[in-house]
């Protein structure tokens, strides 16, 4: 019996040590110094907006990208552009349909180094219950326990049935999602 327990411990020890060393750093977003926004062409002009309420869970170690997991939950009722007409349309069923779908979700588990401090996170974004693949490109600078990331992803609003009755010459189909994030580990 003792020999079986020792053998089991000898076999399990390397697995436990390997698992412990593969755990990524946990980063907590500093929301006072972070912005999640969007940019879209509207006619001849550009509309920029932000989401006032969102959370993120970030497990990331640049030395162990295979362990990276990034998730975010975005409260769609907090979308704001400063454009009264557009802000009035965003909560409606034609756009974000906030009564039925108050949260959009992003998940990425495939992060790769592009070069230098540039990364790419392949994931999925769910808006209005519709999941689409999305590529988030970002730069990352880590100074001690503080990380600063700036990134963007381009999505098709029509693929999510957002503003489905609005023609693309009035409001472009491509929406750039922007991220300016500070996080602490």
Q: Write the DSSP assignment of 14-58 as a string of letters.
A: HHHHHHHHTPPPEEEE-GGG-EEEEEEEETTEEEEEEES-EEEEE
Question: Which pTM was predicted?
Answer: 0.86
In the block, residue with structure tokens 């390397």: 14
In the block, residue with structure tokens 């034609």: 94
Q: pLDDT tens for residues 45-86?
A: 999 999 999 999 999 999 999 999 999 999 999 999 999 999
What residues are paired with 24 via a beta bridge?
Answer: none
Residue 97 has φ and ψ, to the nearest 5°, of 50, 60
Q: Band of the pLDDT at 5, cuts 50, 70, 90?
A: very low
Direct distance between the N- and C-terminal alpha carbons of the chain, in angstroms, rounded to an integer: 44
> Half-sphere exposure of residue 175, counting CA atoms within 13 Å on the CB side?
18
Give percent of the chain above pLDDT 90: 87
In angstroms, the CA 61 to CA 111 distance is 10
Burial-class residue 111 by CB neighbours within 10 Å (0-12, 13-18, 19+): buried
Q: Is the C-alpha dihedral spanning 30, 55, 68, 151 positive or negative?
A: negative
Q: Is the pLDDT of residue 13 over 80?
A: no
Q: pLDDT tens for residues 127-164?
A: 999 999 999 999 999 999 999 999 999 999 999 999 99
pLDDT at 155: 99
Q: Is the pLDDT of residue 23 over 80?
A: no
Residue 133 has φ and ψ, to the nearest 5°, of -65, 145
pLDDT at 24: 84
Structure tokens at 3: 């020999």
Q: Is the pLDDT of residue 15 over 50?
A: no
Mean pLDDT, residues 115-134 = 99
Q: Is the pLDDT of residue 109 over 80?
A: yes
Question: Which domains are seen in the chain, by residue range?
Answer: 24-184 (2.40.128.110)
């Amino acid at each position: 019996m003792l020999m079986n327990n020792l053998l089991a411990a000898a076999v399990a020890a390397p697995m436990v040590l390997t698992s412990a060393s593969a755990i990524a750093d946990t980063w907590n977003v500093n929301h006072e110094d972070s912005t999640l926004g969007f940019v879209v062409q509207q006619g001849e002009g550009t509309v920029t907006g932000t989401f006032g309420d969102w959370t993120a869970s970030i497990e990331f170690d640049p030395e162990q990208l295979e362990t990276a997991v990034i998730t975010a939950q975005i409260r769609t009722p907090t979308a704001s552009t400063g454009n009264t007409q557009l802000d009035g349309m965003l909560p409606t069923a034609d756009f974000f349909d906030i009564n039925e779908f108050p949260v959009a979700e992003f998940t990425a588990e495939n992060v790769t180094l592009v070069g230098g401090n540039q990364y790419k996170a392949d994931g999925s974004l769910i808006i209005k219950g519709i999941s689409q693949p999305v590529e988030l490109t970002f730069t990352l600078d880590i100074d001690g326990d503080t990380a600063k990331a700036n990134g963007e992803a381009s999505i098709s609003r029509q693929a999510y049935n957002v503003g489905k009755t609005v023609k693309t010459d009035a409001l472009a189909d491509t929406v750039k999602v922007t991220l300016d994030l500070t996080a602490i580990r």
